[in-house]
């Protein structure tokens, strides 16, 4: 069955667009500091023209609900709502932290990932993920929260989070704070792969496919951003996936 899905991301400094056509992925990405609103629609239009498809011929649109830049999240959601309304397409939401985990799988082929995004004001968005299927399903999305770098460093150095095996530490948070940039593990059974990575639209597509297969769709008026900073529930920081 022919599958056509559009994904795009504006939640961080990277602005990216990707199309999945019959499981082939095509993507564009640029660093667009404070210019996402000017770049994203032309990028989407250019990619559609290059591949030779129209917006109305797609099956769904995958958007990033956050967390990330407040303005970036709002831009992405507004564009998704507008395109979905105009083309009468369903929407599928994914997480920026989950997208980073999928990117770690693509780059490192690891099944255990800790994702971070700099939340500013001395805090980080973070979550731990474990891949449980080759179809792009990850466990750990319910652990997404906002914490200080010191809390993350404490969790890692006392090994309350990491277990045996290969791990990837991905996202924009690891090199922005000295307490995280110098993390070293003493156990030979734990291999850390650290990389500064942005969420990319191409990695949103496998996650979106999981929801698309399950027919988990949203209408434009059902879309809600995830900021995490506004959360009023205090979590106990124990992450084991």
The DSSP-derived string for 83-142 is HHHHHT--EEEE-HHHHHHHHHHHHH--SEEEEEEEEETTEEEEEEEEE--TTS-EE-GG
Cα distances from 112 to residues 44, 124, 179, 188, 229, in angstroms, run 32, 19, 21, 16, 25
Distance of CA 227 to the CA centre of its chain: 13
What domains, with CATH codes, occur in the chain? Answer: 4-95+199-222 (3.30.420.40), 96-195 (3.30.420.40)
| Dihedral, CA of residue 176, residue 177, residue 178 and residue 180, to nearest 10 | -100
How many other C-beta atoms are found inside a 10 Å radius of the C-beta of residue 26? 15
Peptide bond into 67 cis (omega under 30): yes
What does the pLDDT profile of the chain (241 residues) look like in tens digits?
A: 578 999 999 999 999 999 999 889 999 999 988 899 999 999 999 999 999 999 999 999 999 999 999 999 999 999 999 999 999 999 999 999 999 999 999 998 888 999 999 998 999 999 999 998 766 689 888 889 999 999 998 888 776 566 666 788 899 878 778 888 777 655 554 667 777 789 999 999 999 999 998 999 999 999 999 998 764 333 333 434 4
């Amino acid at each position: 069955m022919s599958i056509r899905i559009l994904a795009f991301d504006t939640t961080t400094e990277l602005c990216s667009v990707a199309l999945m056509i019959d499981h082939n992925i095509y993507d564009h990405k640029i660093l667009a500091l404070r210019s996402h609103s000017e770049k994203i629609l032309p990028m989407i239009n250019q990619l559609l023209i290059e591949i030779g498809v129209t917006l109305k011929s797609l099956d769904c649109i995958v958007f990033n609900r956050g967390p990330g830049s407040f303005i970036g999240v709002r831009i992405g959601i507004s564009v998704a709502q507008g395109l979905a309304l105009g083309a009468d397409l369903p929407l599928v939401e994914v997480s920026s932290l989950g997208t980073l985990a999928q990117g770690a799988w693509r780059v490192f082929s690891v099944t255990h990932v800790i994702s971070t995004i700099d939340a500013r004001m001395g805090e980080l968005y973070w979550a731990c993920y474990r891949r449980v299927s080759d179809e792009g399903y990850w466990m750990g999305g319910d652990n997404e929260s906002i914490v200080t770098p010191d809390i993350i460093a404490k969790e890692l150095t006392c090994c309350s989070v990491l277990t045996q095996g290969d791990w990837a530490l991905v996202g924009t948070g690891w090199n922005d704070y000295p307490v995280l940039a110098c993390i070293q593990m003493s156990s030979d059974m734990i291999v850390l792969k650290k990389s500064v990575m942005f969420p990319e639209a191409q990695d949103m597509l496998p996650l979106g496919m999981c929801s698309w297969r399950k027919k988990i769709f949203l209408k434009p008026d059902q879309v809600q951003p995830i900021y995490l900073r506004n959360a009023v529930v205090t979590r106990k920081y124990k992450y084991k996936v």
